[in-house]
Structure 1
Amino acid sequence: MLYPEVFGTLEKLRWNMAKDVPWNRFDPALLNDEQATTIKMNAITEWSALPATEMFLRDNRHDSDFSAFMSVWFYEEQKHALVLMEYLRRYRPDMAPTEEELHQVRFEFDPAPPLDTLMLHFCGEMRLTQWYRRAAQWHTEPVIRHIYGLLSGDEARHGGVYFRYMQQAIERQGDEARAAFAKVGVLMTSSGRSSKPLHPTNLHVSAEFFPQDTIQSRLPDPDWLEHWLDKQIQFDTSWEAKVVNTILIKLSNLFGQSFEGVKDLNRYRKQFTQPAAIAAS
């Protein structure tokens, strides 16, 4: 069981919103409307941890250990939304998200294989770690730069915990877990072939609400994410390479293989699909 150790580790590293954010360093000259808008959109996006947690608990009723970890993940992710909203409340209250804007991103996700979802969110945390690092560099106002640094550290730790549950899944479910993780890994490292950012908040999750069934599609500005990445924080190919390389290194360690690129991972994935294809023929 991982939850007791995970809880203790994250408890020691947890930052305090009152004590660890340098609110007194705020410089109003370094916050403009464009920057405030991105903070609002990030706050609403972080609020989507609520429906994600509901999904995780529903689809992992068989796994009390992982479900218990959701209590920590949910708390820390909702605190991300809260600290961004607190920043706006203090310095740009006119830009703070409304309760209705927050509620728009709460809707029921379709059931999905738990192993696929676990891998998807591991990759999402690895990507968000780098997005927030880049956001901290793009912003000029010192308080929000510090906040994005805190958020990036949290996302990296969350990814580390997801990875431990992936290791546990390999031990317990063997090739079933390897197949699921390799399949989603290929998807999430194939950014060169994708026309949109590869993150859980930008993927379709509900047939009922399609096409408005991604988190990003339900924001006040559905096109915000691409603009934020491409035009504002300029998350270019060198930054994307950091994400892909991190995922490939972690999967190399997980599978005991060496993946230099997505093609290597895809070749590994195919070894789990070929037997099924032969049996079906």
Structure 2
Amino acid sequence: MLYPELFKSMEAVRWNMATDIPWDDFDGSKLSDEQAYTIKMNAITEWAALPATEMFLRDNRDDSDFSAFMSIWFFEEQKHSLVLIEYLRRFRPDLMPTEEELHKVRFEFDPAPAMETLMLHFCGEIRLNHWYRCASDWHTEPVIKAIYQTIAHDEARHAGAYLRYMKRALNQKGQELGDQARMAFSKIGVLMASAHRTPQALHPTNLHVNKALYPEDTVQSKLPSPGWLEQWLDNQIRFDKDWEGKVSARILHNLSLLMNSSFKTVQDLNRYRKELIRGTAVVA
């Protein structure tokens, strides 16, 4: 089981909201209304860890190890929402999310293949790490800069934990199931490492997850300002091609290590995926 080791390692670096956030360094002259509103939107977005956890537990009922890890992931992700809400409570109480606004992002996600969902969230954590680092650079107020750096580090650790479960899927399952996992990881990897080619931000909270609710079946569509994410990325924190390239490179690097291959580009990964498809067809 991976859960006991992951619990121990994450417990050792867990930060305390009361003592590890430099609340006393707040400088109100360096926080604009525009910046404060984006904090509210991120606080609500992070609250969507609640329906994501419900999805993970439902779709991984046969995997108690991974389901137990969800207790860590869920706690730390909800803590991200809480620290952003606490920031607003202290310094911009007029922008605190209401309970209704938070509850609106809790809706059911359609069932999906577990390995594809695992890979999707692995990539999502990498992307969030880079988004929050970029956001920290954009902000000018010291406390929120520190908060975004703090939660960015958490997202990187979460990606590392998901990667451990991806490795387990390849190493502990039979050949057929291992190939299915490789197929799932490469398929989602091609998608998530190609964000510079898509008009929308590729993150789990911005993808359609419930056909019955379409088109309002993304977490972002449930926010008070449904179009805020693109505005935040493109015009505010300016998450540009250089930043996007870092995300893509990180995904490809980790998949290279995972698959014992070398993926320098998305095209390399896509060729690998097509070879897997051909190999599966031959066996069939």
Q: TM-score, normalised by structure 2?
A: 0.97
Amino acid at match of 2:64: S
Deviation at 1:273, TM superposition (A): 1.6
In the other structure, the counterpart of 2:81 is 81
Q: Distance in 2 between matches of 1:61 and 1:277?
A: 30
Q: What's 1:274 paired with?
A: 278
Q: CA deviation at 1:71?
A: 0.1
- The partner residue of 2:250 within 246, 249, 255 is 246
Residues 1-281 of structure 1: pairs in structure 2 closer than 5 A: 1-173=1-173, 174-277=178-281
Shift, 1:275, TM fit: 4.2
Query: What's the secondary structure of 2:212's corresponding residue?
Result: coil
Which SS does the other structure have where 2:274 is aligned? helix
4+ residue segments displaced more than 4 Å:
275-280
Asked if the contact 2:196/2:244 (under 8 Å) is kept, the reply is: no
The amino acid across from 1:216 in the alignment is Q
* AA matched with 2:132: Y
Q: Which runs of 5+ in 1 are unaligned?
A: none
- CA displacement 1:10-36 (0-9 Å, x = unmatched): 000000000000111100111111011
Mapped to 2, the partners of 1:210 and 1:40 lie a distance apart of 25
Q: TM-score, normalised by structure 1?
A: 0.98
Q: Aligned AA for 2:58? A: R
Q: 1:172 Cα deviation (Å)?
A: 2.4
**1:193 Cα deviation from its structure 2 partner:** 2.1
What is the one-letter code of the residue matched to 2:153?
G
Q: Which amino acid aligns with 2:100?
A: E
List gaps (5 residues or longer) in structure 2: none
Give the count of matched residue pairs.
280
CA contact (8 A) 2:43 2:80 kept: yes
SS in 2 for 1:208: helix
The separation in 1 between residues aligned to 2:194 and 2:144, in whole angstroms, is: 31
The AA in structure 1 aligned to 2:216 is Q
Percent identity over the alignment is 65
RMSD: 1.0
